[in-house]
């Protein structure tokens, strides 16, 4: 390991820096002096009315001159008419002085005529004095600007606009290896080849193979794309250039392209190395934009494409990039020979979440009752950043409660805080509102407990939370699944509308507490019809397409208006059927619904085991096998 390697590479052009500062300071000083001179002359000229020398002579011969000032190149005079006005309204005139004029004789003649001569400038060295004053001004400004540019360094003033903002890290500075990245085994396996190439390039060049110049890391926010890139640099023990795509875009046209050139020039000097461009969609957006074009963005993209084509991959320069919007990238950026290898950094599965939790809890003091597997089961769909935040929140809670270690309750409460917020202890519900919330939540839980293919209920609470929920029902999957059948989705629909069904069966009312349930149920039913081909009328036809699958994943209708009307009708039929089934289940088990609700009103929070104790003790309860839980744990919150 070279101790000063990173510092030398950060300043590859240090010897030439003073000369650039001097030239920059001199240019700025000249520009400022000329600008000041122009502004000064413009201000002076605006104070007078410009006339001809003949007008001045005529005014003099008519005896209308009041005051005269004779300068080396002009005559400034005021007529008696203007002198009679108030000082704020007076405005003098000026005219040029003919060459060869005897200014002293002219002044004596004006004095004899009774004209006041304020100033007489007849020195022959006036031009020399003017030049000398300009030299002094330029010299002073040069010293000041040279000091400023030297302090600002390569990033200061005009000399730094085109410099790259890339940060250079060495292996000791990043401190990240593949041991610090969990849950992304497939992505690490794809990147392992790049590391091997950086270590042994001759092994590939001997057979004539060429490693891809660029690899694109694609995934949802928080999955660890930047962490993976740093880990590759740490494993390969090479310089790591990190820059964001937005750093290339400037208000000055051409500055982004200049920064791209500077970045690749720095990388060529320290090869082998890795260039990582985060959020490349900021600069690599498709140029086929119907709403208009961005000249600066297009020039920067063109320069990036030419630089990738220009460098020789055999020298050990690898360009990595990350984005969560691959669909908007320019096609030229993704063609073979550029970013032609796409590495998916997906949400971790159960084992991946467990490994990620182990990584984030390495420096956390854990109690003996902690079971990270249960936490991994509960956090289906979470990314690495979510799990890191969960562990940190649990550690903060343990400190607030005065404990020296994080226990299982801290982790579970932190998870519930993420999905429902913290408890609102000052919210007071009326007795009627409290009963409505209790029956609503038990309606969800009882339908789930009495149905097949449902996720087991782990907790029911009627304690208000800061997310706006007056209570919620939490379901916990026993194992992770990646496919859902139509019957499993219909069971989930019946569970979602079970709260509204309980309100209708017991109280005969409809409340606003079911708003979130209805929204989620409608979205699920619409996906069943438009994407999953589970409708009865439209069959296998897809009527919606997903855009930004790594961001919100929202589906947009892609069909005729008449077809969209059919979709709406079929979604309504699916929801009506689920609602009718939920009401039937709760009506047939009304006594069980009342018994569990009264118990919940007393305790405010009950566990899934307590719920199943009531269900199993009731002779009229339907069998509730739970051998095929769904993939995701999603609490029902109102």
pLDDT tens digits, 386-404: 899 999 999 999 999 999 9
CB contact set of 548 (below 8 Å; sequence gap of 6+): 325, 327, 554
Q: Are 357 and 394 in contact (CB under 8 A)?
A: no
On the question of pLDDT at 21 being above 80, the answer is no
| 23: confidence class by pLDDT, cuts 50, 70, 90 | low
The reported pTM is 0.66
Q: In what order do the strands lie in the sheet with 167-169?
A: 167-169, 240-244, 273-278, 317-323, 214-218, 341-344
Domains of the chain: 1-160 (3.30.720.210), 167-344 (3.40.50.300), 350-420 (1.10.8.60), 431-637 (1.20.58.760)
> Among candidates 319, 251, 323, 331, which has minimal Cα distance to 282?
323
Mean pLDDT of 228-246: 84
Query: Can you give the pLDDT at residue 229?
Result: 87
On the question of pLDDT at 187 being above 50, the answer is yes
In sequence order, the β-bridge partners of residue 474 are 459
Tokens of residue 446, six digits? 């009882």
Tokens of residue 453, six digits? 């293919």
* Catalytic residue, candidates 296, 441, 492, 570: 441
On the question of pLDDT at 183 being above 50, the answer is yes
Measured CA to CA, the distance from residue 442 to residue 540 in angstroms comes to 36
Q: Are 271 and 314 in contact (CB under 8 A)?
A: no
In sequence order, the β-bridge partners of residue 321 are 216, 277
Is residue 69 among the annotated active site residues?
no
Using a pLDDT cut of 70, give the percent of the chain over it: 78
CB contact set of 425 (below 8 Å; sequence gap of 6+): none
> Among candidates 385, 10, 63, which has minimal Cα distance to 169?
10
In the predicted model, what is the mean pLDDT of the chain? 79
Query: Can you give the pLDDT at residue 70?
Result: 81
Q: Where are the alpha helices (DSSP H) in 200-349?
A: 201-205, 225-236, 255-269, 295-310, 331-334
Tokens of residue 290, six digits? 């119907």
Please state the φ and ψ torsions of residue 323, each to the nearest 5 degrees: -160, 155
| 22: confidence class by pLDDT, cuts 50, 70, 90 | low
In sequence order, the β-bridge partners of residue 167 are 242
Measured CA to CA, the distance from residue 462 to residue 537 in angstroms comes to 40
Task: Specify burial of residue 497 (Cβ count, 10 A radius: 0-12, 13-18, 19+).
Answer: buried
Q: Taking the CA of residue 111 as centre, how many other CA atoms within 13 Å lie in the half-sphere pointing to its CB?
A: 11
Q: Are 363 and 391 in contact (CB under 8 A)?
A: no
pLDDT tens digits, 105-121: 888 888 888 888 876 55
On the question of pLDDT at 2 being above 60, the answer is no
Query: Can you give the pLDDT at residue 18?
Result: 47
Query: Can you give the pLDDT at residue 437?
Result: 93
Determine the 3-state secondary structure of 6 from DSSP. helix
| 498: confidence class by pLDDT, cuts 50, 70, 90 | very high
Lowest-pLDDT choice from 59-68, 141-150, 262-271, 437-446? 141-150
Helix or strand holding residue 431 (H, E): helix 431-450
| 425: confidence class by pLDDT, cuts 50, 70, 90 | low
On the question of pLDDT at 636 being above 60, the answer is no
Mean pLDDT of 218-235: 87
pLDDT tens digits, 131-174: 666 677 767 766 766 666 555 544 443 444 445 555 555 444 56
**Count of H helices and E strands in the chain?**
24, 17
Q: Are 531 and 546 in contact (CB under 8 A)?
A: yes
**372-394: buried (b, 16+ CB within 10 Å) or exposed (e) per residue?**
beebbbbbbebbbebbbbbbebb
Residue 434 Cα to chain centre, angstroms: 41
Lowest-pLDDT choice from 34-43, 85-94, 597-606, 609-618? 34-43
Query: Can you give the pLDDT at residue 184?
Result: 83
pLDDT tens digits, 463-496: 887 666 788 888 887 777 778 899 999 999 999 9
> Among candidates 177, 385, 194, 162, which has minimal Cα distance to 275?
194
Measured CA to CA, the distance from residue 172 to residue 7 in angstroms comes to 13
Place of tokens 């005079």: 77
| 25: confidence class by pLDDT, cuts 50, 70, 90 | low
Please state the φ and ψ torsions of residue 243, each to the nearest 5 degrees: -150, 145
Helix or strand holding residue 460 (H, E): strand 457-461
In sequence order, the β-bridge partners of residue 319 are 214, 275
Count of CB atoms situated within 10 Å of the CB of 438: 24
On the question of pLDDT at 634 being above 60, the answer is no
């Amino acid at each position: 390991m070279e101790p000063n390697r990173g510092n030398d590479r950060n300043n590859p052009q240090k010897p030439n820096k003073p000369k650039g500062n001097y030239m920059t300071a001199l240019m700025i000083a000249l520009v400022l002096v000329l600008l000041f001179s122009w502004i000064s002359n413009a201000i002076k000229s605006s104070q007078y009315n410009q006339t001809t020398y003949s007008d001045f002579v005529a005014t003099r011969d008519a005896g209308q001159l009041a005051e005269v000032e004779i300068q080396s190149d002009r005559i400034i005079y005021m007529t008696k008419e203007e002198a009679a006005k108030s000082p704020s309204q007076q405005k003098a005139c000026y005219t040029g002085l003919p060459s060869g004029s005897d200014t002293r004789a002219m002044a004596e003649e004006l004095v004899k005529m009774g004209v006041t001569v304020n100033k007489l400038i007849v020195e022959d060295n006036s031009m020399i004095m003017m030049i000398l004053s300009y030299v002094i001004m330029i010299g002073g400004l040069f010293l000041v600007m040279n000091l400023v540019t030297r302090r600002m360094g390569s990033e200061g003033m005009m000399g730094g606009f085109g410099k790259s903002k890339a940060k250079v890290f060495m292996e000791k500075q990043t401190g990240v290896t593949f041991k610090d990245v969990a849950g992304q085994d497939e992505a690490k396996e794809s990147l392992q080849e790049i590391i091997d190439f950086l270590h042994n390039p001759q092994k590939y060049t001997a057979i004539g193979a060429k490693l891809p110049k660029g690899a694109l890391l694609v995934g949802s926010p928080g999955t660890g794309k930047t962490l993976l890139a740093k880990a590759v640099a740490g494993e390969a023990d090479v310089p790591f250039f990190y820059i964001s795509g937005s750093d290339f875009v400037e208000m000055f046209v051409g500055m982004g392209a200049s920064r791209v050139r500077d970045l690749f020039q720095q990388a060529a000097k320290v090869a082998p190395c890795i260039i990582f461009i985060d959020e490349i969609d900021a600069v690599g957006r498709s140029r086929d934009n119907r709403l208009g074009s961005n000249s600066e963005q297009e020039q920067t993209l063109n320069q990036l494409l030419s630089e990738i084509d220009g460098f020789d991959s055999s020298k050990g320069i690898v360009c990595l990039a990350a984005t969560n919007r691959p669909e908007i990238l320019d096609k030229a950026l993704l063609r073979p020979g550029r970013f032609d290898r796409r590495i998916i950094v997906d949400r971790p599965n159960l084992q991946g979440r467990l490994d990620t939790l182990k990584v984030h809890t390495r420096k956390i003091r854990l109690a003996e009752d902690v079971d990270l597997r249960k936490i991994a089961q509960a956090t289906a769909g979470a990314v690495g950043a979510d799990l890191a935040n969960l562990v940190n929140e649990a550690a903060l809670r343990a400190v607030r409660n005065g404990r020296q270690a994080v226990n299982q309750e801290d982790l579970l409460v932190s998870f519930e805080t993420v999905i429902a917020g913290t408890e609102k202890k000052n919210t007071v519900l009326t007795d009627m509102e409290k009963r409505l919330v209790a029956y609503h939540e038990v309606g969800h839980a009882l339908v789930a407990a009495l149905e097949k293919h449902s996720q087991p209920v782990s907790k029911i609470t009627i304690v208000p939370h800061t997310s706006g929920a007056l209570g919620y029902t939490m379901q916990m999957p026993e194992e992770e699944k990646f496919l859902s059948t139509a019957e499993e989705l219909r069971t989930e629909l019946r569970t979602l509308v079970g709260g509204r069904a309980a309100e209708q069966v017991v109280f005969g009312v409809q409340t606003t507490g079911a708003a979130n349930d209805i929204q989620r149920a409608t979205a699920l039913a619409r996906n069943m019809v438009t994407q999953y081909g589970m409708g009865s009328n439209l069959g296998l036809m897809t009527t919606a397409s997903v855009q930004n699958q790594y961001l919100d994943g929202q589906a947009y209708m892609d069909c005729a208006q008449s077809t969209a009307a059919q979709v709406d009708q079929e979604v309504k039929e699916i929801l009506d059927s689920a609602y009718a089934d939920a009401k039937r289940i709760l009506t047939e088990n009304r006594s069980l619904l009342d018994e569990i609700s009264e118990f919940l009103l007393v305790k405010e929070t009950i566990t899934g085991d307590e719920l199943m104790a009531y269900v199993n003790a009731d002779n009229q309860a339907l069998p509730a096998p739970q051998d095929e839980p769904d993939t995701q744990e999603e609490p029902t919150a109102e």
